[in-house]
Every structure is written in structure tokens, then in C-alpha cells.
Structure 1
Amino acid sequence: MAALVQEQFDLDPFSGKFFLFCGGKQDRVKALYWDGQGFWRSIKDLKTAR
């Protein structure tokens, strides 16, 4: 996901910003964040979330 941010969007994945992605079916949201020591990745399933 960090490579996608860097190559496709020409953004810096190490900038400390949150990057959000949705799947092809748009039923999940993925978040990517660099905290200075490593990447945090979180996935939220929107089918079960209300």
C-alpha cells in the first residue's frame, strides 16, 4: 500500500498523514499511517458496521 501511495499518487507515505483506500466492492476501508517507527494498517468492514 505504501508503494501504491508513492508510485500511483506521487505522495510521500512517510509524511505522517493517513491514507484511506476502499475496495473494489466498496465494502471495506483500509487505512495506512506511518508513526515514525513503522506502518499502521487498519481495515474496517463496512458490511457489519452501522
Structure 2
Amino acid sequence: MFRFDVSLKVYLHRDPVDFRYGMNSLSILVEQAMRLNPMDSSLYIFGNRRRDRIKILGWDGSGFWLMTKRLEAEHFIWPGNKTEVVTLTTDLLHALLDGDDITTIHRHPRREYLRVS
């Protein structure tokens, strides 16, 4: 499994996306729908309608990269709030990638795991 730096910003797009979208379409979605800069040093997470696949878009300073994960027996659990963009910590990203239900993870008083923007 990949491990991501603790200081990395992670944004989750709430609505399902067409999984035929590639780097260009997803970067436009980041810019227009999420109103964020796709070329900053953040990760952007997108899910399909069935929530059995996710795509993660990232910029490394010289180009975009795109990672895809498919869960074989389960579904990814998306937060149920109504905002379009959810900010995750890398701890929650790792839990999401493991197939855990990130909506049931409780906050530690000193650490903020899930922020809604």
C-alpha cells in the first residue's frame, strides 16, 4: 500500500464521476466544480456511482498522475454531508483506501480528521 505524507492536503469530491474521465477531465472538475487548483500539492479523490472504485489525481510539480483502486468485495463509504468538497487527513485517506467506513471514525480531541469546506 502507498503511504502519503501527513502534511498532504486531501480533497474528496462528493458526487460520483464518470470513470471514463482521465487526468484532463478530472483536473477541469477540480478547477471548476471544486474551485481548487489542480496543480497544487494536494490529492483529489473521486468515486464512481457504485462506490466500488476511486480515482486519485495528484500533481507532482512536473505533471499529473492518476491512481485507481477497486475494492473487490466491499464499497467505499463516502461522508454524508451536503457539501461538494470534503477535506480529509492522510489518516482518513489510508482508512478509505483500506475500505474502512471513515464516517464512523471518531475525532481525537487534539487531531482533526475530517474537515468540511
Q: TM-score, structure 1 length as denominator?
A: 0.89
| Identity percentage of aligned residues | 34
Task: Could you tell me which runs of 5 or more consecutive residues in structure 1 were left unpaired when the two chains were aligned.
Answer: none
Match of 2:44 in 1: 19
The structure carrying a bigger strand percent of its residues is: 1
Structure 2 CA distance, aligned partners of 1:45 and 1:24?
13
Pairing 1:1-50 to 2, within 5 Å after superposition: 1-47=26-72
- Residue 44 of structure 1 and its aligned partner are, at CA, apart by 0.3
> When the two structures are aligned, how many residues end up with a matched partner?
50
Higher-Rg member (1/2): 2
List 4+ stretches of structure 1 deviating above 4 A: none
Q: TM-score, structure 2 length as denominator?
A: 0.40
CA RMSD of aligned residues (A): 1.6
Paired residue type of 1:26: R
